Amino acid sequence: MAEDLLRVRDLSTRFFTEDGQVNAVESVDFDVRDGEVFGIVGESGSGKSVTALSVIDLVESPGRITSGEVWYRNADLAEEVRDDTPEAVDGEFVDVRRVPENVRRSLRGPSFSTIFQDPMSSLNPSLTVGEQIAEAVEVQRRARSNPRSTRSRTQGYGLTDLLSSAVLPSKSYVSDESRAEAIDLLEQVGIPDPAERADEYPHEFSGGMLQRAMIAQALAGEPDVLIADEPTTALDVTIQAQILDLLRDLQDETGMSIMMITHNLGVIARMCDRVGVMYAGEIVERGTLEDVFDDPVHPYTRGLLGSIPDLDDPAPRLQPIEGNVPDLYDEEMEDRCYFADRCPKAMEECLNHPPEFEVGATPEESPEGGGGTADSGERTGEHTARCVLAQHEYDPSQALPNDYFESGARRKSESEPEEVSADD
């Protein structure tokens, strides 16, 4: 079994808006192992992209990571930060949430890199594609040549440098070597005539070529973990297949691990070794691809799979999941299974918030609390689910009435007195 490269433990992210607190990511646990593709799948609004941004600390205001640990295996980094932040080090693992911000920022590129959803909005329309990739290469080249502790001083490039570069080409931030490597990266990701294409602007690229350019930019730092956030969105089926094949080929060549964020189960089936199914900010089921696709336990997972047409027998009608993903406002999230109001097998037990169970284990054998301890890396098992059905069969005698949540909401509103303002 491959070793863990990344261990995410109890990660939670909140958005503090004028309308209230939004619990976008709720106590998420998962591992990413050496050389594997780990997929996170779920409906839009389930928290997949925010989870990815939380791992690399790119959540913008009003969002904030409120708790959790992100343990990254890197012996050199562990040795480097051990004296200053010993609490962040456990053997070869470093909790990047505890290291200084400048150290965490320096990991973006050589350790973690991201392919964002929309390459047209992610690339600068006023710069050529080649220049933007060359800048990414130059940043990583300078970073590798300097100790992490001195990078912020030796890499300074301020307004004076920018004005000088506009007048004096010799003062350009990007070196000829970085430009040449940018062209090589474009060729590596399958861009035809890369030297000529490097001088073109993003609007001159097709959607598939832009996505390839984004992959080239992400590869500039030779990352250990590549986070692909909906990398095939808005692409036609043929181009989607080409992009996925490209990612697989690049992984085989470089040995990097990939976090695949998608709502497309076909992409998961084609690419992933293991998968986590996400709903309402939680990972509700995870395991190997075979576990989740061939023996799903959580009704939400079964609902997703039931929404896919069967090419061998297209006659049966699809079974959509009734209802909608909750809006995740804190005051509206009851302390229960978040899927219970949409679940066809909701029981009285589901009115309690379920822990993560090992599928098939007895209550005595299945530890609560997710993917294992951060320090030892112990796992509860390959196949887990945040559902009571992981431990016992559905009991119709314990089923909730079909209108339970609707009538419950009505009874609550009728029983609670109206709020009276101070002015009244």
Residue ranges per domain, the chain?
A: 120-222
For the stretch 237-293, pLDDT in tens is 888 899 999 999 999 999 999 999 999 999 999 999 999 999 999 999 999 999 999
- Chain Cα centroid distance, residue 59: 12
How high is the pLDDT of residue 424? 41
For the stretch 62-82, pLDDT in tens is 999 999 999 999 999 999 999
Torsion of CA 286, 287, 291, 295, to 10 degrees: -20
The answer to whether the beta carbons of residues 257 and 27 sit under 8 Å apart is no
How high is the pLDDT of residue 366? 55
Provide the token pair at 15: 């958005």
How high is the pLDDT of residue 120? 78
Taking residue 38's Cβ as centre, other Cβ atoms within 10 Å add up to 23
Sign of the torsion formed by the C-alpha atoms of 306, 309, 315 and 319: positive
- 241, exposed or middle or buried, with CB in 10 Å at 0-12, 13-18, 19+? middle
Q: What is the overall mean pLDDT for the chain? A: 85
How high is the pLDDT of residue 368? 52
Intra-chain end-to-end CA distance of the chain, in Å: 67
pTM score: 0.85
Three-state secondary-structure class, residue 403 = coil
Percentages helix, strand, coil for the chain (3-state, rounded to 5) are 40, 20, 40
Task: Tell me which residues of the chain have a pLDDT lower than 70.
Answer: 1, 145-172, 315, 362-381, 407-424
